[in-house]
């Protein structure tokens, strides 16, 4: 293009790379290095010797049970969120409803998916706690004693349905564009070739949507796995999920081994990392088909 000397071109290239230096420095300092520090720290003893002991120690009953509860809560809330979210997204895209319902639901989902953390816990406590509105109404109107059945908002089930308050909207937001991409001609082609509604869904629609459904569920899973604020405010330390354990470890070294804390963090990163990689792979697959 230009007939400049090689030194000019070099300077231009240097300037180019300089331009993203601030961002790279930021990412280094506040994203990569802290994570790397923890990840490498997991493989060392407090005295500085390389070891796999910390990883092995993760498999002790108390820590394993923390991971297991985390996984169970995340799986439950992600599947619950996925199923309900899918039906809602289907309803607004293909259900033949008036247009304002769609925009209303999408707007609300945008808000609700961000309404997590401590206030969400308060909301569910106020609604389904021992003196919550729904509990009281069920007792006064229908004579149904909710807490008598053994239900308790401060429990695995309570945390799951609380999480679903932001999981469902997230599913709706991500799945709606995928459903929009379902061409109506596919449905018509299936129909004219003799397929019933059920056959269309079984042989055409669900197979096409499956990567998006699966991928988004994984995203929801990772989302729930890393969350702490809601759980902390709702169930405190009574439900010993991994983030709560890590919180206690950071605050007060309850594990009496800083490096074990690093291993805990490493375990979290591995789980959320793998889920996200699978999500990306599935999304690439989905997009390739929907050309």
Partner 1 sequence: MKASKALAWFAIAIGVIYFFVPLIGTFEFSMRMRRGAYSFDAYQSVFSDAQFQSTFGFSMLMALFTIIFGMLLVVPTAYWVRLRLPQMRPVIEFLTLMPLVIPAIVIVFGYLRLYNSSSWIPFTGSIQGTNMLLVLSYITLSLPYMYRSVDTAMRAIDVRTLTEAAEILGAKWPTIMFRCIFPNVMSGVLSGAFITFAIVMGEFTMAALLNRPAFGPYLQLVGANRAYEPSALAIIAFAITWFSMGLLQLVSRFSKMAPSKA
Partner 2 sequence: MSFLVLEHIKKSFGQTQVVKDFNMSIEKGEFVSFLGPSGCGKTTVLRMIAGFENPSDGAISINGKNQNKLKTNQRNIGMVFQAYALFPNMNVFDNVAFGLKIAGMNKAEIDKRVKEMLKLISLDHLADRYPYQMSGGQQQRVALARALAPKPQVLLLDEPLSALDAKIRVSLREEIRQIQRQLGITTVFVTHDQEEALSISDRIVVMNAGRADQIGAPSEIYNRPATRFVASFVGTLNMIDATVADPAANTVKVGENTVKLKESIGALKGGDKISIALRPEAGSLSESAKGDTSITGTVVLSHFLGSVIRTKIDVGGNLISFDMFNSPDTVQPQPGETVTLRFNASDFLIVRD
Residues 50-79 that bind partner 1 (CB under 8 A): none
Report if residue 199 touches partner 1, rule: CB under 8 A: no
Of 116 and 286, the one with the shorter C-beta distance to partner 1 is 116
> Which one of residues 69, 82, 164, 170 is an interface residue with partner 1 (CB under 8 A)?
164
Report if residue 281 touches partner 2, rule: CB under 8 A: no
> Which one of residues 58, 79, 195, 254 is an interface residue with partner 2 (CB under 8 A)?
195
214 contacts which partner out of partner 1, partner 2, none, CB within 5 to 8 A by kind?
none
The C-alpha atoms of residue 33 and residue 171 are separated, in whole angstroms, by 32
The C-alpha atoms of residue 159 and residue 165 are separated, in whole angstroms, by 10
The count of chain residues that interact with partner 1, using the rule CB under 8 A, is 78
> What is the contact mask toward partner 1 in residues 218 to 257, using x (rule: CB under 8 A)?
----x--xxxxx--xx---------x--xx--xx------
The C-alpha atoms of residue 219 and residue 47 are separated, in whole angstroms, by 38
Query: Using CB under 8 A, which residues numbered 134 to 163 contact partner 1?
Result: 134
Whether 211 contacts 279, CB under 8 Å: no
The count of chain residues that interact with partner 2, using the rule CB under 8 A, is 21
Two tokens, residue 191: 């129909």
Whether 54 contacts 42, CB under 8 Å: yes
Residue 244's SS3 state is helix
Burial 31-69 (b: 16+ CB within 10 A, else e): eeeeeeebeebbbbeeeeeeeebbeebbeeeebeebbeb
Q: How many CB atoms lie within 10 A of CB 118?
A: 12
> What is the contact mask toward partner 2 in residues 113 to 152, using x (rule: CB under 8 A)?
----------------------------------------
> Which one of residues 268, 282, 283, 286 is an interface residue with partner 1 (CB under 8 A)?
268
14 contacts which partner out of partner 2, partner 1, none, CB within 5 to 8 A by kind?
none
Residue whose entry in the numeric block shows the structure tokens 């997204």: 89
Burial 236-272 (b: 16+ CB within 10 A, else e): eeebbbbbbbbbebeeeeebebebbbbbbbbbbeebb
Query: Using CB under 8 A, which residues numbered 171 to 190 contact partner 2?
Result: 183, 185-186, 188-190
DSSP bridge partners of 44:
50
Report if residue 99 touches partner 2, rule: CB under 8 A: no
Instruction: Give the shortest CB-192-to-partner 2 separation in angstroms.
Output: 5
């Amino acid at each position: 293009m230009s007939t400049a000397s090689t030194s000019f071109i070099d300077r231009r290239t240097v300037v180019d790379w300089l331009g993203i230096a601030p961002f790279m420095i930021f990412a280094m300092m506040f994203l990569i290095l802290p994570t790397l520090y923890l990840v490498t720290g997991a493989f060392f003893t407090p005295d500085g010797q390389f070891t796999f002991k910390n990883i092995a120690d993760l498999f002790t009953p108390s820590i394993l049970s923390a991971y297991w509860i985390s996984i169970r809560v995340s799986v439950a809330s992600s599947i619950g969120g996925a199923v309900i979210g899918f039906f809602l997204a289907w309803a607004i895209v293909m259900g033949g409803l008036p247009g304002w319902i769609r925009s209303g639901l999408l707007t609300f989902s945008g808000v609700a998916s961000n309404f997590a953390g401590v206030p969400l816990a308060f909301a569910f406590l106020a609604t389904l706690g021992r003196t919550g509105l729904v509990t009281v109404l069920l007792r006064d109107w229908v004579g149904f004693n909710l807490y008598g059945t053994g239900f308790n908002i401060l429990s695995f089930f309570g945390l799951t349905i609380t999480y679903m308050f932001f999981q469902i909207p997230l599913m709706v937001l991500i799945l709606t564009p995928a459903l929009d991409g379902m061409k109506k001609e596919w449905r018509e082609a299936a129909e004219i070739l003799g397929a019933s509604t059920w056959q269309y869904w079984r042989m055409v629609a669900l197979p096409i949507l499956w990567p998006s459904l699966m991928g988004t569920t994984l995203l929801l899973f990772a989302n729930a796995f890393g969350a702490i604020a809601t759980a902390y405010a709702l169930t405190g330390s009574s439900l010993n999920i991994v983030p709560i354990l890590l919180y206690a470890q950071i605050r007060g070294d309850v594990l009496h081994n800083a490096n074990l804390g690093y291993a805990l963090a490493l375990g979290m990163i591995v789980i959320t990392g793998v889920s996200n990689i699978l999500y990306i792979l599935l999304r690439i697959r989905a997009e390739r088909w929907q050309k």
